[in-house]
Amino acid sequence: MKQRRYSTQTWNEHELQPKTLDKSTVDWIFLVDCLNFSFWSDVDTSDKCQPHPERYTVSLHGKAYTGYWSLCAAINRALAQGIPITDAAYYTSASRDELETVFASDTREPIPLMGERIAVIREAGHVLLEKFDGSFVNCIRQARQSASALLSLLTQHFPSFRDIHWFGGRQVAILKRAQILIADIWACFDGQGYGEFHDIDRITMFADYRVPQSLYSLGVLRYSDDLLARLHDHEMLPSGSRDEIEIRGNSIWAVELMVRRIKEIDPTVSVNAILIDFYIWDTAKELQDQMTVPIHRTRSIFY
C-alpha cells in the first residue's frame, strides 16, 4: 500500500468514478451502493481475469466492463443518454421496461437479481422522496459528520441496507452495503465536505465474496476441508447460513487485526479497515487468476 501510495485519492482514479464533488455525485454513489450486490456470474464459473464471453457485460466508450464496474458503466451510459437514472423521482416511477433497458447487457446473461434490484431502488427512492427531500445529501446532513450516525439512519430508514442476521442465538450486523456507501462518499470527497466524518474509523471492512477469497489466498483465513470441497464444487451457501456468516464475520475480524498489526509496525501510517478493504479488492481483481479458492456463492441483495 505504501509503495502504491494507496489512499482515499486512489478511489477517483478509475475512469468510471465521478470526478465532480457535488450533490450529483452523492446521488450517484447512493444509487450505485443501493445496487452494489451479487455480480458473480452463473456462466463464468472459472471467474478469471479474462471473463467468459457471455458474462453480464456493459460497454461504454468502446470498453467492456464486468462485475461491479458493469453497474457503474450502465449508470454512466444511461446518464450519457439523458436518462436521469440517479434522480430518485425517476427511478421510483420508471417502468420495469425502462429500468431493464438501463441495465441491459451486451451479452446473453442479464444482470443478476434484476427484480430485486428494481424493488431495492424503488423502495430507496420512496424513502428519499418522503423523508430526505429526494437526495441522500440530506441524510448526510442529519448525521452531522458522524459515520456511526449515518449508519444508524441507513438501517433505520432503508430496509434493504439491514444486513443483519441471527448467529449463535444473537443478532450480527454485517452491513456491507451501508458501510461501503459511507466509505465511498468519504473516499470520493477525500474526507472533506459531504465526506467529512469524525469517526470514519468505526467503519469495518465490507464483507462480500471477493475479499474473503483474497484473504484466504493470502493465508489470512483458513477454511475446513469440508468447506473447501463445497466451495470448489460451487455449492450455493444460503444467505444467513452458518458457513456464510462465519466467512463474512471472520473476514471483518481478520481485517481489524491487520489494521492493528500495521499500526504496530508503523505508527505513523494512516490506515483503516476501509483502505485495506479497497486495496485488497483492487488487488484481487488484478490477480484474479492467482486466487487459490473460488468465491463463496450466495445470491443476496446484501453483497
Question: What is the set of active-site residues?
Answer: 208
Angstrom CA distances, 8 to 13, 112, 147, stand at: 10, 30, 16
Give, in degrees to the nearest 5, the angle at Cα 69 between 121 and 270: 100
Residues near 287 by beta carbon (within 8 Å), at least 6 away in sequence: none
In Å, how far are 88, 124, 218, 283 from 215, measured between CA atoms?
A: 37, 32, 5, 11
Quote the CA–CA distance of 232 and 296 in Å, as a whole number. Answer: 9
Q: How far apart are the first and last CA of the chain?
A: 25
Distance CA 211, CA 260 (A): 18
Separation in Å, CA 24 to CA 21, 72, 138, 292: 8, 14, 12, 40
Distance in angstroms (rounded) separating the CA atoms of residues 288 and 282: 10
Q: For residue 165, what is the enclosing H or E element?
A: strand 164-167
Instruction: Tell me the HSE value of 125 on the side-chain side, using a 13 A CA sphere.
Output: 21
Q: State the amino acid at position 33 in one-letter form.
A: D
Residue whose C-alpha cell is 427511478? 91
